[in-house]
Amino acid sequence: MSNSLTTQRILSIDAFRGITILVMIFVNELAGVQGIPAWMKHVAADDDAMTFVDVVFPAFLFIVGMSIPFAINTRKAKGDSVLQLQGHIAFRTLGLLVLGVFMVNAESGYNEEAMRISIAWWSLLFYAAVILIWNIYTFENKGIVYVLRGVGVITLLMLAVVYKGGEDGSQSLTPQWWGILGLIGWAYLAACILYQLSSGKIIVIMLMSVLCIVYYAIGRADFGSLAAFSQGGHAVHTCIVLLGIILSLIFFDNQQAVSGTKRFLKVLVLAVALIATGYLLRPYYTISKIYATPTWALYSAASCVVIYSFLYWLMDIQKVSSWTAFIRPAASNPLLTYIIPSIVYWTMQVAGVSWPSVFYQGLAGIVWSLVFAITIMALVMGLNRLKIKLQL
């Protein structure tokens, strides 16, 4: 790589991830609340607009991008061969795709009568398998680790066989869509490949992000058979990840012998360029998270640039970081934090209980959603102390 990055964790990136996770849990719970302002919910697919809620998913993509240079450079520094590195990337991608497909099939399309098991129990067994497979074990006896992970893999395979969908129960487990984790997986894979091909050069990565938008445009235009090969949504998601890579290189590439002021000027230019490009594309592509349009992606990425720049100034320059202690466990264990709300939901389904209806109305619903998000963060902290930590 033509850049030089630290092998240590960047606290400000962890803080950005932790804040994003907290907001994600908050807005997911808020989605079921009635009588709240429109700006606190996702915008409909055909509305030419976005709210802060529509920035949560691209923020995850952006953070994935910010982490990629550190992860790849660190593995290279540890002596990973090219083949070992690609194997690691492929395994992480496969994990995200598998998780995404299982979670999506639990949301709709299932046939409990044909499965002969409730979707709630099926889902809880799935999450148990996830923890068994991807937990970071501290046992000195590696045999125990292999057994636990083996049990998890076998459980996943059995759940895949048991799953039945469709009115007649003839459908098997299938990617109805890839789910949030699956979409992140595809974008992560593409960005990792492109980052390596670019040798970590900012100008090349910037060109690749532009090509992602062009690829999207080809899919939307009438280019006959060529358009059929375009997966525009994946290209736009990859663009967001690439922009996250660029921001990391601007701030942390030690080979760029420039002052902090010049780095912030570069970041300012990046943010303005993203907003300007989004504005220029607006007449051709509406702002839509559901359709993964370039305008939505560029405006979201610009928001991430601004938010992270503030965190960098606060934590890396001003050294104000003690406030992150609460969100740090969730930030370093995003997968565990992501699945805990679903585990809570399915456990309540099995138990036949539900939250009081007042929790889903107006101001009370907003307060409850915030309390729920904070509780989940605290629960992850407790699970970490019990040595439950997940890593793809």
Tens digit of pLDDT for each residue in 30-84? 998 999 999 999 999 889 999 999 999 999 999 999 999 999 988 888 888 999 9
CA–CA distances in Å: residue 303 to residues 47, 220, 222, 244, 276:
20, 25, 32, 11, 13
Angle at 91 between CA 119 and CA 130, to 5 degrees: 30
Report whether pLDDT(220) > 90: no
The region of weakest confidence among 49-58, 224-233, 275-284 is 224-233
Q: Is the pLDDT of residue 230 over 70?
A: no
- Nearest alpha carbon to residue 202 among 240, 237, 247: 247
- Residue-level pLDDT at 223: 47
- Beta-carbon contacts of residue 184 (< 8 Å; ≥ 6 apart): 60, 61, 64, 96, 100, 237
Given a contact cutoff of 8 angstroms between Cβ atoms, the answer to whether 75 and 88 are in contact is: yes
* Domain definitions of the chain by residue range: 11-108+176-385
Distance CA 115, CA 167 (A): 12
- The backbone region for 47, taken as left when phi is positive above 0, alpha when psi lies in -120 to 50, beta otherwise, is beta
Q: Distances in Å between the alpha carbon of 47 and those of 107, 231, 285, 287?
A: 25, 22, 11, 7
Q: Stretch 208-213: mean pLDDT, rounded?
A: 95
Residue 218: per-residue pLDDT: 83
Segment 79-135, tens digit of pLDDT: 889 999 999 999 999 999 999 999 999 998 899 999 999 999 999 999 999 999 999
C-alpha torsion 36→54→64→9, nearest 10? -40
Q: Is the whole-model pTM more than 0.75?
A: yes
Dihedral over Cα of 315, 9, 338, 355: its sign = negative
Share above pLDDT 70 across residues of the chain, in percent, rounded to a whole number: 94
Over residues 309-319, mean pLDDT? 93
Residue 228 is predicted with a pLDDT of: 40
Reply yes or no on whether the pLDDT at 225 is more than 70: no
Decide: 113 and 43 in contact? Cβ < 8 Å.
Answer: no
CB 187 within 8 A of CB 208: no
